Structure 1
Amino acid sequence: MQINRTGSAQWSGGLKDGKGQISTQSGALNHYPYGFASRFEGVPGTNPEELIGAAHAGCFTMALSLILNEAGFTAESMETTAKVTLESVEGGFAITAIHLTLTGKVPGADEAKFTELANKAKAGCPVSKALASVPITLEVHAA
């Protein structure tokens, strides 16, 4: 089975004075603004790093749900935040780290089991695999 999804970006102008728009196939983002100021200066709009973070958090949490079910558990609730670090390095900028913070309530699973299964999801989710060149860490909190 092969699934294809698309995202697109439109840009006009230079780096600092230019403006862009990001759209997704689903319409979740439809010509949503992004640019230098939203990426580096905290101005409203999106940026590639937060989009990667949202995608990673979503994929990881969904993968963990599957892994929990396979182990005989069902999450009552889970929330994941992905902190994506962009840094100036030799030759430009690079994403140098991703830190996942998971808080979840899983009846019947103690914190050790929850952490074990969460690490399995971190290693196996498709977005983690795509981002394998970046160090990915995980912090787990059982609610």
Structure 2
Amino acid sequence: MNSRFITFETVSEPIDPDVEQLTVKPLFARIVGALEAKGVEFIEPPAEWDSYGWYADYQVGSANLTCMMQRSDAWLILISSNRSLMDRLKGRHYNRELDEFSGLVVSTVQETTGVPVKLFNSEAEFRAG
């Protein structure tokens, strides 16, 4: 699966693991709202992701992309392409759409939070970083 990883930090104190899920929702809602203000529309509205994050699905060009946010050691936004079997057989990776949307998310997070953001273009790069 092609993915982009975005990390940032907004607090200096650790967030209590018992309330992490509660802290993700309002921040993700601000980011989603800022993306909407820039003209990006989701095809699947924000919803809870397995009790530890929030996600929304977006159409970017011909790609269906999922944007999921969770709290770990820092804030993590994972953007991935949802490729069908036919996409896989035809070798469609949607890298251009992933790059375009990831860049927009990075600038939106920076504008929304006022903090530096790191973008990793692969899981290997993210894990090494």
Query: What TM-score bracket applies, with the shorter chain setting the length?
Result: 0.3 to 0.5
Structure holding more helix per residue: 2
TM-score w.r.t. structure 1 length?
Answer: 0.38
Q: Which has the larger radius of gyration?
A: 1
TM-score w.r.t. structure 2 length?
Answer: 0.40
